[in-house]
Amino acid sequence: MPSALHFRTIADLAAALDAKQLTSVELTQAVIARTQAVEPRVHAFNSFDVSDALAQAAASDARRAAGQARGALDGIPIGLKDVIAVTGQPLTASSKMLQNFVSPYDATVTTKLKQAGAVLWGRLNCDEFAMGSSTENSAFGPTGNPWDTTRVPGGSSGGSSAALAAGEAIATLGSDTGGSIRQPAALCGVVGLKPSYGLVSRYGLIAFASSLDQIGPFARTVEDAAIVLGAIAGHDERDSTSFKTDIPDYRAALTINRGPWKLGIPKEYFAEGLDPEIAASVEQAIAFYKAQGCEIREVSLPHTQYCLDTYYVIATAEASSNLGRYDGIRYGHRSTAAKDAVDIYAQSRAEGFGPEVKRRIILGTYVLSSGYYDAYYLRAQKVRTLIRQDFLHAFRDVDALLTPTSPVPAFKLGEKADPLSLYLCDIYTIGVNLAGLPAISVPCGFTKSGLPIGAQLIGQPFQESNLLAIAHAYERAHEWSAQHPAL
């Protein structure tokens, strides 16, 4: 029995649209109806515009009727994390600081999706300014995990992962600074891809930590992730960190590259703190690849123990710098209680920023301060180089690395009140951002209580084609991606 429209894949729906078995308006109406039915329980969206989405869908149908369809994304509803700019739409970063801000321009990825004909659908909830691992830090309330709405969907892109898992979008975009695509993808049972740093433009992305942030897709399948990546990747002169490289046909590469591959298993990622059920599922994924003729090697990433410390020095330092623009004067929240010009800064930030954002700004300002810059920030940058060298050394002998995505399955809302316990949820994903590598999380099982488990594949820089092919080989032999929560 075919899945309901809101649970079908981009590839399947694009074929149905091409065959005139379906219209984009019908598809978009199905997604809207699903969203209105489950959103009160999930709270994946900060806002959505039904009439605008239907107008986009009607324009797609008109193009198709005129023989001008723009490809696999034309007419497909795609949600965007509320840190990605869309002209005329709210851009809040899930913060009171930007609660009433409307974007005057499009992010580059938004422009690319529009050029591909996608129906841009809604603003998705996240941890405030993308700072968090559970989407509990949003100023507009937490998002629930569709598999168990009393649990977190992961973060910071929890709205993006939850909306997709719940059938409230056909694909979504998120941003990944330390695991914010891959970790929520694992906790919600969907595919999440963090591209190589510089492959996808950051222009129009609200900055958290500029040397770590990267936009990427959430999708039901690896094939869908490849389709979306092909649409949003490419050099952008408006982003000084954008890398000039040829963009291959990622979707075609899924079947061209069939392996077998050499896969590395980092011993540091299977140590104390890893949930036994997650370990068992990832071990089964390793066994699958071995049975397919892949060479499995244990590798070492000896500086892994320093990843968390290094990340929270560099990321908070960059956050402190980036968030200095929210001063209560140029745009964003402005306090009405301020007594003078200097007080505007203090009061506006005190009222506009939430506790986690303040915590990171304070820490980042400290490590950048006179007398501490060399001891913390400069040293962290040197360790970052060692971490990247660990990965590059491992890639001399293997094509990709296979690890767990998250050390734990989705936990209860409010369960981890201690910030450090939340930070540790990203222990397997942070190193990838520090090294600027591509990585993907794919569903690889469920716990006994029915919570999704994800496996992470880490690839070589700008070798997304190979990474996606390796992930696709596992996915097509399993049915994890075809299972959906019973909301």
Name the residue among 216, 288, 302, 278 with its Cα closest to residue 405: 278
Cβ atoms 269, 406 nearer than 8 A: no
Q: Are 260 and 475 spatial neighbours (Cβ–Cβ below 8 Å)?
A: no
DSSP 8-state code for residue 373: I
Structure tokens at 32: 């809207």
Give residue 2's pLDDT: 56
180 is catalytic: yes
Q: Exactly one of 24, 60, 81, 320 is catalytic; which is it?
A: 81
CB 315 within 8 A of CB 360: yes
**Res 257: pLDDT:** 83
pLDDT per residue as tens, the chain (487 positions): 357 999 999 999 999 999 999 999 999 999 999 999 999 999 999 999 999 999 999 999 999 999 999 999 999 999 999 999 999 999 999 999 999 999 999 999 999 999 999 999 999 999 999 999 999 999 999 999 999 999 999 999 999 999 999 999 999 999 999 999 999 999 999 999 999 999 999 999 999 999 999 999 999 999 999 999 999 999 999 999 999 999 999 999 999 988 899 999 999 999 889 999 999 999 999 999 999 999 999 999 999 999 999 999 999 999 999 999 999 998 999 999 999 989 999 999 999 999 999 999 999 999 999 889 999 999 999 999 999 999 999 999 999 999 999 999 999 999 998 888 899 999 999 999 999 999 999 999 999 999 999 999 999 999 999 999 999 999 999 999 999 999 8
So what's the pLDDT on residue 452? 98
3-state SS, residue 69: coil
pLDDT of 1 = 39
Q: Spot the catalytic one: 94, 134, 156, 320.
A: 156
| Closest C-alpha among 452, 457, 448 to residue 162 | 452
Extended strands (E) in 125-198: 171-176, 191-194
Q: What is the pTM of this model?
A: 0.97
320, two tokens = 């402190």
Cα distances from 138 to residues 45, 141, 168, 184, in angstroms, run: 11, 5, 19, 15
Tell me whether residue 157 is one of the annotated catalytic residues: no
Q: Which of 24, 138, 180, 348 is catalytic?
A: 180
Contact by Cβ (8 Å): 484, 3: yes
Residues with Cβ within 8 Å of residue 66, at least 6 apart in sequence: none
Neighbours of 408 (CB within 10 A): 19
E strands, 14-170, in order: 45-47, 77-81, 119-124
Task: Considering only CA atoms, give the Rg of the chain.
Answer: 21
Distance CA 165, CA 151 (A): 14
pLDDT of residue 286: 98
Q: What is the rounded CA–CA span in Å between residue 103 and residue 110?
A: 12
Domains and CATH numbers, the chain: 5-265+395-482 (3.90.1300.10)
Q: Is 369 a catalytic residue?
A: no
Whole-Å CA distances, 36 to 26, 121, 184, 387: 15, 13, 22, 45
